[in-house]
Amino acid sequence: MSIVAIVGRPNVGKSTLFNRLIERREAIVDSVSGVTRDRHYGKSDWNGKEFSVIDTGGYVVGSDDVFETEIDNQVKLAIEEADAIIFMVEVESGITGMDVEVAKLLRRSKKPIFLAVNKVDSAARTNDAVEFYNLGFEKYYNLSSINGSGTGDLLDDLVKAL
């Protein structure tokens, strides 16, 4: 079965999307940084295609160094084991330095990458999302993982790549 990994810095909404995709609450959703979280695996399907989803997380927040190394490791692992990657960022904070670092790693991989701009909860926020073109991917998907909007468009294209 194909594997889809969700990567990105903490608090962008990866686990919220994961929970929505697998329609069961398995991952720990936690808005507090500094918590050690494991990787979670679940099963999903869209348009008749089944796939496994990995919610990456296991970040150990100690020093900034450890933090960035952990994210790097998660991204590298995802590049190795996934058939497609959802790279999640969020519109409230805009592009951060960590987003730029993750983007650099992902652009070097040959796996299909789907840039998902989360927390686009209102029409006004779709304008703010435009800045994410600067991360250097061809297109991006506006998402609100909390209310589910935009996930259909993302999944339509995602399953075609599997």
Of the residues 12, 15, 44, 89, which one makes contact with Mg ion according to CB under 5 A: 15
* Residue closer to ligand GDP, measured from CB, 74 or 84: 74
Q: Does 8 bind Mg ion (CB under 5 A)?
A: no
Q: Does 150 bind Mg ion (CB under 5 A)?
A: no
Q: Indicate the annotated binding residues for GTP.
A: 8-15, 55-59, 118-121
Stretch that binds ligand GDP, among 68-76, 93-101, 103-111, 143-151 (CB under 6 A): 143-151
Within a 10 A sphere around the Cβ of 134, how many other Cβ atoms?
A: 12
- Cβ 4 to ligand GDP shortest distance, Å: 15
Give the residue from 102, 158, 91 showing the smallest Cα distance to 135. Answer: 102
- Based on C-alpha coordinates, what's the Rg of the chain? 14
Q: Does 57 bind Mg ion (CB under 5 A)?
A: yes
* Residue closer to Mg ion, measured from CB, 62 or 136: 62
- Cβ 88 to ligand GDP shortest distance, Å: 7
* Residue closer to ligand GDP, measured from CB, 13 or 102: 13
Q: Does 119 bind ligand GDP (CB under 6 A)?
A: yes
Tokens describing residue 17: 């999307």
